[in-house]
Amino acid sequence: MSALGAFVDRLALWMFRLAGVMLLIMGGAVLVDVTGRALFRLTSGKVDILFAGGPELVAYSLLFTIVLGLPHALDRGQVAVDLITGRLGAVTRTRLMAFYYAGFAVLGAGLAVRLGSGAWAAQATGETTQTFQVPMALVLGPTAFACAVLALRGLVVAGRTWAEARALAR
């Protein structure tokens, strides 16, 4: 389990770094779009550097930023509601966290299955994005893969957390 866990952790870290690149792409697209619109407005249409597909580029880069970043960020920075868990013992609190991570595994698995079937359907029908005409299978397939990694990482982190609870109980 530790070899699989280490592999999934490394994969999630690389995906997290790629999510950072996607975030920069999204920010750059927004910056270019806003600057182009401002120049268009200030020059009464004489300077026209608007590009079609800005909203589509931002939407899909946001999608990839979220699904690529979530597996690595799963066990970092979670907010615990002390009102509910404050009176619980350390072992019970840790076991609740393990169930929480297992919930992300279920969520990731469900998304991976549905997005994967959507990718196959998009491949079969030739469905494309609206502006850039990119095959939707090329969007949905990597998204399904990222969700599958989320499911695996959720299971790995849940297992580690459950083992931590067992160690605390001793």
The tokens 């930023």 sit on which residue?
65
What's the pLDDT score for residue 105? 97
pLDDT score for 48: 83
CA–CA dist 38, 28 (Å, integer): 15
pLDDT of amino acid 87: 82
pLDDT of residue 82: 66
Question: pTM for the complete prediction?
Answer: 0.90
Which bin fits 78, alpha (ψ -120 to 50), beta or left (φ > 0)?
A: beta
pLDDT at 79: 64
Low-confidence ranges of the chain (pLDDT < 50): none
Residue 15 structure tokens = 């995906």
Q: How is the chain split into domains, by residue range? A: 2-169
